[in-house]
Amino acid sequence: MADSAVTPTRAQNYPEWYQAVIKAADLAENSPVRGCMVIKPWGYALWENMQSVLDGMFKDTGHVNAYFPLLIPLSFLEQEAAHVDGFAKECAVVTHHRLKAGPDGKLRPDPASALEEPHIIRPTSETIIGHMYAKWVHSYRDLPILMNQWCNVMRWEMRTRMFLRTAEFLWQEGHTVHATSQEAVEETLRMLDVYADFAENYMAVPVIKGMKTPDERFPGAVDTYTIEAMMQDRKALQAGTSHFLGQNFASASGIKFLNKDGAQETAWTTSWGVSTRLIGGLIMTHSDDNGLVLPPRLAPVHVVLMPIYRDEKERDGVLEFVRSLEKELRAQKYDGRAIRVKVDDRDMRGGDKAWQAIKQGVPVRVEVGPRDIAKGEVFVGRRDKGPKEKSGIPRAQFVQTLPDILAEIQSNLFKKAAAFRDENLKRIDSLAEFEAFFSGDEDKAGGFAAVHWNPAAIGHEVLARLKVTPRCIPLEGKEEKGQCIFTGQPSSKRVIFAKSY
């Protein structure tokens, strides 16, 4: 065994380490379709758990699910000027509806099947959903509309990286319509809170809630709100966004309603989304040089039981013990649901099994052999501790305390990530200090810089040179008088800057 189960390590090459963790944990794989990945069962089970929690949160806040078409007529995209600028350069275009063999016998798009109007595969669905909403909304009684859809979207990105940026990805997109600006803003912030709650309390990823600076807004939005997380290379990851769209899309789509006084008004809309990108953020926040580390609340398996025996004679006794332990553990609850147990009785070396569980991030590993059984114990390893750090625990005690152990692991992961983030968040008050903070060895420099800033500083050459962008204006940041470090102009609040994914 090498010193670490994953090579290269984070210190050696962070981007390659990330790909190696995905491979070691068997989460996903590149596909033959450019920029598109295959999400393998372990990765998909993680996504299912995320979906399940988020979907419950959406329903608890009054939203219902629906499904809108994958394809969007080209003319729809043109309705909102900023929107089209944002997406026209990276969309998959459907131009034909039939294939036909050419003279060489090879298939090609049948020219006779050319579409009168090309369609694009949705990069996001504001325009097509807005078109339907315009039909459904007539009166203030029809409002609010609070809908969400779980689906795939496509953005033909030039540089892709599994989970973080792929041409096709899975996500949810909420789209709501309101009678007033205030209600729409409240909805935008409510869903930002839902995202922050999910990131911190389920993914164990600390986030900063904030408003995007104008240059970082969603194309067509009045205001974009974001949750920003710090990865272990100190770069920022935009983990979820919630957009106050004002009346931009409602005007473009014609979403109008009669108010209580019988006068026609244009409605106010929002949209908000998180995607399989969250999995990338989860990997980069918690994983280590031995592979994936999963927060228990989202782990597809909480505990893996590994029977250990030398021969058939030992086998029966060990398996019987393990099966009854499995049953007892499944009867225990963690996070309001039955504990998820897996028995790994595959015919392979015990050490290989344990390392696979470690690489896949299973929170708790239990080895059971004849000697443990004789002592009435189980041999327990935790993913938040070293791979060799294992201890014997009396069986009944283990069964009883497993929910607490899982809760402790969940809490430990969050604390560790929060401490790392806080250590690497610096208040900076001069351009020189700013440059120094983000310069030097790419693998060690940087973090989150909280600096005074004035919108006129957008596009400042230092930012372009350092590849640093404003991440957000924190919602919880205090008002504080200062001077923009780029322009010297007065500023009332600090903005977070960082390199980012």
Q: Using CB under 8 A, count the residues that bind its own copies.
A: 62
Which of residues 6, 46, 54, 121 is near its own copies by CB under 8 A?
121
- 81: helix, strand or coil: helix
Per-residue contact string for residues 40-59; x = within reach of its own copies by CB under 8 A = xx--xx-xx-----------
Per-residue contact string for residues 1-40; x = within reach of its own copies by CB under 8 A = ----------------------------x-xxx--xxxxx
DSSP state letters, 265-331: EE-EEEEEEEETHHHHHHHHHH-BTTB----TTT-S-SEEEEE--SSHHHHHHHHHHHHHHHHHHHT
Min dist. Cβ of residue 110 to its own copies (A): 8
Residues 6+ apart with CB under 8 A from 117: 73, 74, 75
As a whole number of angstroms, the distance between CA 269 and CA 471 comes to: 24
Asked if residues 172 and 54 have their Cβ atoms less than 8 Å apart, the reply is yes
Which of residues 12, 56, 65, 467 is near its own copies by CB under 8 A?
65
Which of residues 8, 16, 70, 483 is near its own copies by CB under 8 A?
70
Asked if residues 253 and 127 have their Cβ atoms less than 8 Å apart, the reply is yes
Check binding of 156 to its own copies (CB under 8 A). Answer: yes
Tokens describing residue 267: 């409605």
Check binding of 342 to its own copies (CB under 8 A). Answer: no
Min dist. Cβ of residue 222 to its own copies (A): 24
Asked if residues 147 and 65 have their Cβ atoms less than 8 Å apart, the reply is yes
Check binding of 88 to its own copies (CB under 8 A). Answer: yes
Please identify, using beta-carbon distances, which residue of 113 and 259 lies nearer to its own copies. Answer: 113
Helix (H) or strand (E) holding 264: strand 264-266
Instruction: Give, to the nearest 10 degrees, the angle between helix 312-330 and helix 395-423.
Output: 70
Which of residues 3, 106, 313, 479 is near its own copies by CB under 8 A?
106
Check binding of 352 to its own copies (CB under 8 A). Answer: no
Check binding of 99 to its own copies (CB under 8 A). Answer: yes
CA quadruple 330, 334, 337, 343: dihedral sign: negative
Min dist. Cβ of residue 89 to its own copies (A): 5
- 105: helix, strand or coil: coil
On the CB side of 489, CA atoms within 13 Å amount to: 7
As a whole number of angstroms, the distance between CA 439 and CA 449 comes to: 13
| Interaction residues for its own copies, span 247-266 (CB under 8 A) | none
Per-residue contact string for residues 161-200; x = within reach of its own copies by CB under 8 A = -------x-x------------------------------
Closest residue by Cα to residue 298 from 444, 413, 380? 413
Min dist. Cβ of residue 188 to its own copies (A): 21
Min dist. Cβ of residue 159 to its own copies (A): 14
- The residue ranges that bind its own copies (CB under 8 A) are 29, 31-33, 36-41, 44-45, 47-48, 64-74, 76-78, 84, 88-100, 106-109, 113, 118-121, 128, 131-132, 135, 147, 151-152, 154, 156, 168, 170
